[in-house]
Amino acid sequence: MAPEWILAAEVVYVLFVIAVCLRIIYDTRSVSKTLAYLLLVIFVPIAGIVLYFSFGINYRVRKIYNKKIISDDIQYQQLKSRIELGSQKAIQDINPHLKKYSKIARLLLNSNLSGLSGNNQVQLLFNGEEKFPEVIKALKAAKHHIHMEYYIFEDEVIGQAIKEVLIEKAKEGVQVRFIYDDFGSRSIRKKIVPELRAAGVQAFPFFKIFFILLANRLNYRNHRKIIIVDGHIAFTGGINISDRYINDAEHPGEIYWRDTHIKIVGPAVHHLQHLFISDWNFCADENLEIQHAFFEDCADANSDVEVQIAASGPDSDHPTILFNLIQAIGMADEEILITTPYFIPGNTLLDALYVAALSDVKIKLLVPYKSDSMWVAAAARSYYQELLNVGVEIFMYKKGFIHAKTMVIDDGLSFIGTANMDERSFELNFEVNTVVYDQGIARQLKNAFYNDLNETIRVDAERWAKRSSWAQLPEKIARLFSPLL
């Protein structure tokens, strides 16, 4: 190549790098993430640019995911008014013991139109051995529709069992709609999905990956786990459809998976239904409009649990789940119990924990002893010393892998969901958490937390501080890249 062409190519490349850097500065909300991407693009020629376009574009800013539950603006305004009025009434009627959390309810109502609803039945389901029998029972009883949305659906024993139920119900005339993440559920693309479609199940990938090595879509995952049956029963939480979540005699020698899911019967199901229909209208060939059968009156006079759904993703105006957790931490008076498999909190959440701990709120953090991601685990450990310094107690679960994503505030507020305490869940993934304003559920979740502590080792603050610099180096390096993990 002639020297003048080499010079011209270098000039074009430099101009392109400058253009990409300007895009990073304008697009990226987080300062630390902006700096990380700038360094990557400037100091890693070509590959850095490819990585940014594959993983770094801020879709919350660009609104690529423009989803609407209904296409008619008048109907939408009517729906919005109904949710706001119902939620305001529920806030006024909230249990006096939980009245102090009404600001959390208002935050969710204002940030993503998630109403607070009372008269719900709530059942905690621990691990796959408790979840899957309840799910199959509910699916088999479906009369009108089944709506299902999953990050991971694997072609294994439980996946096959649920597939057969879906096919059976579709043949009976039940409307069955299934959204699967094209990355997390890639094992079902060639066999299970065609079988479902052949039987009459409508099945669509949430965001289809066309070129997996350079796919920005790979970075924006639908991490939600939702099942809705006939508009009045719903399941959501941390447990995917996979055999690994079942701990019984049929799975000898496999690692023990500890996770938490939730079953809801009542009006709160309608808010999960809203979320599902929005996701469906984004990814499916069908524009699914509001139907009365999707929102049956399901209030139960014997139920009095207040529930709210917190959802966020690149389609939302704000990182609603992050805001929700920060506000709840700030309202704690006595105790915060956090369980998460991946802990890369970012500065905002970290500061909220510092403030709470320095205000004499007892904070316990439960994380895995061994993670399924070496880099994520190293990045998480880099935060431990700072937390230990302000009195946070950290426990590492040794019995197996703890995958639950829960938080309990004092004895009255509970969070059960799909979102990890990391920046990926807060900024990149489509997530959903259930907020339960109930002392009974909080006590159950608190008891489960303390039972899990029997299978842990506590991180000793003094010994942790005395670790060698070489032991800490991989953690410091991983932390530099934590916004990208």
Report the catalytic residues. 223, 225, 230, 403, 405, 410
The Cα–Cα gap between 187 and 221 comes to 16
| Three-state SS sequence of the chain | CCHHHHHHHHHHHHHHHHHHHHHHHHHCCCHHHHHHHHHHHHHCCCHHHHHHHHHCCCHHHHCCCCCCCCCCHHHHHHHHHHHHHHHHHHHHHCCHHHHHHHHHHHHHHHHHCCCCEEEEEEEEEEHHHHHHHHHHHHHHCCCCEEEEEECCECCCHHHHHHHHHHHHHHHCCCEEEEEECCCCCHHHCCCHHHHHHHCCCEEEECCCCCCHHHCHHHHCCECCCEEEECCCEEEEECCCECHHHCCCCCCCCCCEEECEEEEEECCCHHHHHHHHHHHHHHHCCCCCCCCHHHHCCCCCCCCCEEEEEEEECCCCCCCHHHHHHHHHHHHCCCEEEEECCCEECHHHHHHHHHHHHHCCCEEEEEEECCCCCHHHHHHHHCCHHHHHHCCCEEEEECCEEECCCEEEECCCEEEEECCCEEHHHHHHCEEEEEEEECHHHHHHHHHHHHHHHCCEEECCHHHHHCCCHHHHHHHHHHHHCHHHC
β-bridge pairing 305-312 and 431-437:
antiparallel
How many other CB atoms sit within 10 Å of the CB of residue 462? 7
